[in-house]
Structure 1
Amino acid sequence: MASSKTILIADDSATFRSYVRDVLQASQHRVECLDACNGLEALDVLGSRPVDIVVLDLMMPELSGEETLARLHKTGRRQFLVATSSAITNETRETLSAFGAYEFLPKPVEPEKLVGILGFFDVIKRRRRALVVDDSATVRSVVRRVLGHSLFEFDIDEAADGASAIELALASRYDIIFLDVNMPGIGGLETARTLLGRTWNTVIVMMSRSADADLVARVRETGVGAFLKKPFYGRDVDSILHSLLGLKHPTLVKETALFAETRP
């Protein structure tokens, strides 16, 4: 059974807070529910103890949900957050996405959608082993930092060339490998071909600064899971992993094509 989750329900309506609490506690998930009736109270709770999921109303007195998320974003923390409101503008939706909110649920919120969020959380927060392969130590450091901004959680190893990557990947179980296309010695495409079919259910994501149609076609032909053009960001990692894991894309995570190419 999954471990207990701490849920912060931030809404100025006691009726809505009670509704969310009743729905979540009646599910098969083990939850502890905390209350906040405005954004300031929510920030106080988040500053005082770990919280797994925040259900945040956008229209609250003293400090709105959008303002609360903006302050939280400034701290650099990536919080698994679900926004709620009776209505939302496209501008607000863009702001929520930029600030890292995971999903928006319109009120009245359907019980199955609330419970479904807990299931998504369990899948997303399962720690995964990742291998970052690039001949540039700087790029490896940048990719490591990008993965740290993803909603998914990784234990990360590094390799500086194809030969080292093959040795590590065949000796260990990695969930995902981020593999640079252009490396001296054994290149990324050859490394990918060597590893595919010989590793334990490992997803390979190729990386390159170039994304011309010919390169993307050659990458696709290897059978890898996806291709990302450098630079990419935590939200791009979130999007492709939703696709590769067969998860429904939340409305606030913009969908990144698995094999995007640069058009001439």
Structure 2
Amino acid sequence: MDVVIADDSRVVRKIIQDVCNGQSWDIKLHHAEDGEQAREVLSKLDEGLAFLDINMPGMTGLEALAYARRGGSKIVSVIMSSADGYALRTAAQELGAYDYLVKPFSAKQIQELLETARALLSSPSVLVVDDSATVRKFLVRMLHQLGQSYEVEEAEDGETAVRMMRTGVFDTVLLDLTMPGIGGLTALPMLKAENPESKIYIVTSFSDQQTAKACMAAGADGFLVKPVSPENLQRMLGLTSVL
């Protein structure tokens, strides 16, 4: 994973660098000491994670990110500053920044951001389970529009879903509650037994609290009400900015 560290403070760059060097996966570091260097580095990267200080000589981190966005960059960006405020956070959010880090920050915060970026930049696999071909098509299209490269497969009932889980691991399952044969609540523990690490979200037309409680009690990781909106799906999958 490419990681850009753009800050005119050597101390700040060293803190982030040390956390990056302590990871078990491959990280390629790109250093920038001012805004112009940051812009140049970002222009060469389509993906990755960028820590961008706002106040740097020549050009701010926000300006460097704006250049990158105009060039089509999808890099996960974290804006850093010793100052905080609504205007700064709004400016960062408008440029698609994932987070706003107020100095001084901890190594733990950097660690969490690295892990989050790694997950966001991966190609997670999703199994969409629904007896309606129309609903499956709708959810698949929505997943592809969220800006992340999902590997999506479909199942038309619970029995097929369990069989597919036995032969392949899925990071996420969108599971319809009401289906012929094996329904969602019956299939849920069977799917969890095959892969306890999978996140399983029940998708249903029922929005009452009793149904939601039953799903969560059965081990669901979340609950989505049809018709599913892109915002709710993003929120459930953890893809939304924390700003």
TM-score range, shorter chain: 0.7 to 0.9
Q: Distance in 2 between matches of 1:21 and 1:223?
A: 37
Change (3 A) 1:110 1:182: same
Q: Distance in 2 between matches of 1:75 and 1:185?
A: 50
Change (3 A) 1:214 1:239: farther
Partner of 2:62: 66
CA contact (8 A) 2:3 2:28 kept: yes
CA contact (8 A) 1:27 1:115 kept: no
- 2:14 aligned residue (13, 16, 19): 19
Q: Distance in 1 between matches of 2:190 and 2:19?
A: 46
Q: Distance in 1 between matches of 2:186 and 2:30?
A: 51
**Are 1:200 and 2:189 matched, yes or no?**
no
Structure 1 residue ranges without an equivalent (≥5): 241-251, 255-264
Partner of 1:234: 234
- AA of the residue aligned to 1:139: F
Q: Report percent identity of matched pairs.
A: 24
1:49-82 CA distance string (max 9 Å, x none): 4553211112346653334445545666542222
Q: Which moved more, 1:37-46 or 1:155-164?
A: 37-46
Instruction: Give the 5 Å matches for 1:183-194.
Output: 183=179, 186-194=182-190
SS at match of 1:253: coil
Q: Distance in 2 between matches of 1:87 and 1:75?
A: 28
Change (3 A) 1:96 1:213: farther
SS at match of 1:224: coil
CA contact (8 A) 1:179 1:207 kept: yes
SS at match of 1:140: helix
Change (3 A) 1:51 1:195: closer
Q: Distance in 2 between matches of 1:115 and 1:121?
A: 10
Q: Distance in 1 between matches of 2:121 and 2:88?
A: 26
Q: Distance in 2 between matches of 1:179 and 1:76?
A: 34
- AA of the residue aligned to 1:237: L
Q: Distance in 2 between matches of 1:210 and 1:187?
A: 14
State the Cα distance separating 1:149 from its structure 2 match.
Answer: 3.0
TM-score normalised per structure 1: 0.68
Partner of 1:211: 207
TM-score normalised per structure 2: 0.72
Partner of 1:253: 242
Change (3 A) 1:37 1:171: same
Structure 2 residue ranges without an equivalent (≥5): none
Partner of 2:6: 10
Change (3 A) 1:220 1:74: farther
- AA of the residue aligned to 2:147: H
Aligned residue pairs total 234
CA contact (8 A) 2:46 2:73 kept: no
Partner of 1:33: 29
CA RMSD of aligned residues (A): 3.7
State the Cα distance separating 1:86 from its structure 2 match.
Answer: 0.4
Change (3 A) 1:191 1:8: same
Partner of 1:244: none
1:72-117 CA distance string (max 9 Å, x none): 4566654222221001213433554565433332223444543554
Q: Which moved more, 1:222-231 or 1:25-34?
A: 25-34
Partner of 1:140: 139
Q: Distance in 1 between matches of 2:206 and 2:73?
A: 31
Q: Distance in 1 between matches of 2:180 and 2:70?
A: 40
Change (3 A) 1:20 1:191: same
State the Cα distance separating 1:237 from its structure 2 match.
Answer: 0.9
Partner of 1:86: 82
- 2:168 aligned residue (168, 172, 178): 172
